[in-house]
Amino acid sequence: MQNDHLFLKKTFKLAAKGSGLTSPNPMVGAVIVRKGRVLSSGFHRKAGSVHAEIDALNKIKGNVRGATLYVNLEPCCIWGRTPPCVDRIISSGIKKVVISTLDPNPAVRGRSVKKMRSAGISVETGILAEEGRRLNEVFFKNMEKKLPFVAVKSAFSLDGKTVTAGGQSQWITGESARGLGRTLRDKYDAVCVGICTVLKDDPGLEASLGGKAKIIIDPHLKIPLKSRLLKNSENRVFILTSAASRAKKNKLACLEKQAKIVVVPYGRSGFSPETVLKRLYKLGICSIYLEGGAYTSGAFFDACCVDKIYFFIAPLILGGTRALPVLGGKGVKQMKDAVEVADLKVKKVGPDLLIEGYPRYKAPAAQKVDSL
């Protein structure tokens, strides 16, 4: 058991090497062990490349008869861009497979385990399941809800302000926190901001890893053609708007060269974040890093659409009734409806604090007013 934990933790570490690269696939690591000795290990490098189990098996020249395979996620039993892993595992002579989490994909969930057991392999599952699930929180959200995972990042003062009473917002946190804030973009498929942030800060939203999408929520298509976000045509830029039909033809034509214009219904209370997320998921966006201001982030919280928070808190007081708060929107009326944030982690990043956690909504999203 002790060893099982040890080797599974090793698979988690291996899996995490694929962070930001495997989407829409999960992160997977595999370790093959015989008599307590690691024979080989592997991980899933990026979508389309060989799976972790196969990566590990490929590295062994001799036979693996009698060995145990550790893998953080149930191996696949379906043809994707690569053949099913279970067939290879069965034919390899592996005697035992230890799995942290079952694959949440309904097409796989438990079937691979059954198939391996039928073939005489001893299979254990559910070990360090919470850690395994957390590692692939994006993939689990995708499979279970058919929606992108949403992480909200914000940077604010000790008194919860993101913009001073005089309208300034740069910089609240120090270099280390801002650096980490940028690094975190790599973990997600897309960075998303509201048009107010574009108009105010003209951010570039660069990530270190290539291929990341940039999403601008811009109901009235106010984005200036010279925005930094539009400059780098290498990147996939999505502009979510309801105003495409009313935009000047010239502007629309220019924008369409640089970005994908996604028309989303816009009601009296604005966009529905859930509708936005559904559209984005269909467009292949599995996870979003929302660097929104009070309005955008507030709307996503109101709609119970935030899965994770990254709050960078600077050791500063800004004060001021007119200063902007972290979150706007409708908010909760009664204290009993406050959104609890579970699994709070606090760490120092330079002089600042980073608070990570997972909002736990009391009512299902459908019952809430969701406006953006």
Q: Does 338 bind a copy of itself (CB under 8 A)?
A: yes
Cβ–Cβ under 8 Å, residues 104 and 140? yes
Q: Is 26 left (phi over 0), alpha (psi -120 to 50) or beta?
A: beta
- Size of the residue set binding a copy of itself (CB under 8 A): 53
Q: What are phi and psi of 262, to 5 degrees?
A: -110, 115
SS3 313: strand
Q: Which two tokens stand for residue 203?
A: 């951010």
CB of 104 to a copy of itself, least distance (A): 26
Q: Catalytic: which of 53, 74, 274, 291?
A: 53
Please say if 53 is a catalytic residue. yes
CB of 161 to a copy of itself, least distance (A): 7
Buried b (16+ CB within 10 A) or exposed e, 58-78: eeeeeebeebbbbbbbbbbbe
Q: Which of residues 252-311 bind a copy of itself (CB under 8 A)?
A: 294, 298, 301-302, 309, 311
Interacting residue with a copy of itself among 16, 129, 353, 365 (CB under 8 A) = 353
CB of 349 to a copy of itself, least distance (A): 12
Nearer to a copy of itself, 83 or 315 (CB): 315
Interacting residue with a copy of itself among 130, 175, 256, 340 (CB under 8 A) = 340
Q: 43 CB contacts (<8 Å, ≥6 apart)?
A: 14, 15, 17, 18, 27, 28, 29, 30, 52, 55
Q: Which two tokens stand for residue 53?
A: 């189990």
CB of 334 to a copy of itself, least distance (A): 6
Q: Which residue has the tokens 């800004």?
A: 318
Nearer to a copy of itself, 245 or 334 (CB): 334
CB of 93 to a copy of itself, least distance (A): 49
Cβ–Cβ under 8 Å, residues 14 and 43? yes
Which H/E stretch holds residue 256?
helix 249-258
Buried b (16+ CB within 10 A) or exposed e, 221-234: bebeeebebbeeee
Binding mask 154-183 for a copy of itself (x = CB under 8 A): --xxxxxx--xxx-xxxxx-----------
Nearer to a copy of itself, 43 or 311 (CB): 311
Interacting residue with a copy of itself among 38, 129, 252, 316 (CB under 8 A) = 316
Q: Does 327 bind a copy of itself (CB under 8 A)?
A: yes
d(CA 285, CA 296): 18
For a copy of itself, the binding residues (CB under 8 A) are 156-161, 164-166, 168-172, 294, 298, 301-302, 309, 311, 315-323, 325-335, 338-342, 344, 346, 348, 351, 353, 355, 357, 359
> Which positions are annotated as active-site residues?
53
